[in-house]
Amino acid sequence: MSTADAAGRSVWGSKLGFVLAASGSAIGLGNIVFFGANAYRFGGGAFYVPYFAALFLIGIPMMIVEMGLGQTQRKAFPSAMNRTSGKKGEFLAWWAQVNAIVIAMYYITILAWVGSMLVKSFGPLYADGANSVGPTFGGVLTSWMPVVFAFGIWALNAVFLSKGTKTIEGAVKIFVPLMWVFMALLVVRGLTLDNGLQGVWYLFTPNFDGITEAAVWQGAFSQMFFSLSLGLGTMTVYASYLPRKADVVTNGSMVGFMNCTFEFVAGLAIFSMLFAFTLYPGEGTGTLGMSLVVVPTGIANFPALQVMFAALFFFLMLIAGLTSSISIIEGPVASLKDKFGWSRAKAMALVIGLGAVGSVAFALPQVLELDGKPTQPLGLSLLELFDHWAFGYSLLIVGLVEAVLIGHVYGIEKLRAQLNANARFFKLGPWFDVLIKYVVPTLIGVVLLFNVLNELGVSIEALGIPGKGFYIGDNGEYFDGFEWGPSAVFGLWLGGTVVAAWLITRSGGYDHEEEGEA
Ligand code: TRP
């Protein structure tokens, strides 16, 4: 198996290698931690209409576009956008890369907490049965253990990225099949608990209550983008290592469906445990609380093998997250290589160096204590604020502008013809052009508009949409005494990412034709 093509660009050893890598990227914390929390927060059955709309009208089509861009241009996202839609496109793609680094920072901090909980599952986690779960997580958050883990996980990522496709393939060939096996064990255990099936009804019973709330739609759209690894050009980079004849229409759809199947199964596992033990996450349960506290609390009530199942659950999240984090980091690394002709080692040193420092900042255990009220660690507060912007907005903004540029400026008809030439099972019809040119931008645009109005506190009475004002997820109360925090983080995020993207786009580079692996 060769790992470089004639021009010296690294290529996947096999089609299976690519599918495993792309599904390893897609399946991650998004499918376990974020899906469970979002589906619960937005009311189970109420989440489906926007979720499926997002999958078929936006998710799969954009997956095909992002992969198609990489496969036809054989470049990372910024260079591929430059070649198809000029400097504007390149700027957008660099903005996405800067956001990818921010997302990698906190993604790995979350993995560091997961890793710490894995260690604790062999000790204090169930020292006092279900009662010791919450305090154990609290202890992890306020200790230095996650900082150590954050360094370790960045180091692991460096190992898996060190030889490009070759080392990535090595990792996903082991981890991706293992993920499915572990998830199967958990779902069988969950569904066979007394009352475990109750959770299935919660997840499946349609409910149209929340359907007019912009936040539910934004939640579903952001969830879909994040889960499918869209909006950062990740799939473009992975597909740029495909041979010219590869069929991304089929592969892209397949990866999309596999990801959502996994997500569904994960939802079943989580909801069956919650309902079997009537654990209703309280109002204050944040996104992380669901997977790191509520689910382990459910496992504590298992009739047997609690420690084994808890360790299995944390290990599953860890490997699912690892195969995703390597893809998030590969994006900016490959982008720098392609624009400046840097060696892999040099690009990795910059991205990983920056990223590791950021992860440590998010893992800092200092607890803010203001007005005599202990709140949560400063790092976690910062993480939630950055997540609000990077997760909630940047992926959707990139998706919207990308659809407009590829749809109208480059011409989606051109891309579709190139993709259809290699499509062996089904070809994309003209409906695909309509989706990319009009449907995707309109849907995302409307959702973003309502949310911005919502953040600004504008209520739209005719539609029954309340203006909530600047709100951060459902944990607004954590920011008592840290009022300047949200605005400062917003300014830092927007200013920092835009300026960095602008500087990189402006600096010449030489869109290096091809370079071998260093
Ligand atoms: N999809 C992954 C998850 O569900 C995370 C991820 C990997 C990602 N690459 C991405 C999210 C690119 C957005 C963009 O956990």
Q: CB–CB of 92/498 below 8 Å?
A: no
Per-residue pLDDT averaged across 89-109, rounded? 95
Question: Is residue 25 within 6 Å of ligand 1 at its C-beta?
Answer: yes
Q: How far apart are CA 329 and CA 352, in angstroms?
A: 8
CA 399 – ligand 1 centroid, Å: 14
| Ligand 1 pocket mutation pick from 236, 265, 317, 324 by most atoms within 8 angstroms of CB | 324
Question: Is residue 28 within 6 Å of ligand 1 at its C-beta?
Answer: yes
Question: For residue 472, what pLDDT band results from cuts at 50, 70 and 90?
Answer: very low
- Best mean pLDDT range from 25-39, 348-362, 388-402, 485-499: 348-362
Measuring CA to CA, which residue among 376, 99, 76, 113 is closest to residue 226? Answer: 99
- Specify the residue for token string 């095909």: 64
Measuring CA to CA, which residue among 170, 76, 150 is closest to residue 318? Answer: 150
Cα Rg of the chain, angstroms = 22
Specify the pLDDT at position 515: 44
- Best mean pLDDT range from 196-205, 209-218, 306-315: 306-315
Beta bridge partners of residue 477, listed in sequence order: none
Query: What is the pTM for the complete model shown?
Result: 0.91
Question: Is residue 226 within 6 Å of ligand 1 at its C-beta?
Answer: yes
Specify the pLDDT at position 308: 93
Nearest CA to ligand 1 atom 8: 229
Per-residue pLDDT averaged across 216-241, rounded? 92
How many of the other CB atoms lie within 10 Å of CB of 286? Answer: 18
Phi first, then psi, for residue 244 (nearest 5°) are -60, -25
Nearest CA to ligand 1 atom 12: 229
Whether residue 22 has pLDDT greater than 80: yes
Which one-letter amino acid corresponds to residue 190? G
Specify the pLDDT at position 274: 82
Phi first, then psi, for residue 467 (nearest 5°) are -95, 110
Question: Is residue 297 within 6 Å of ligand 1 at its C-beta?
Answer: no
CA 216 – ligand 1 centroid, Å: 20
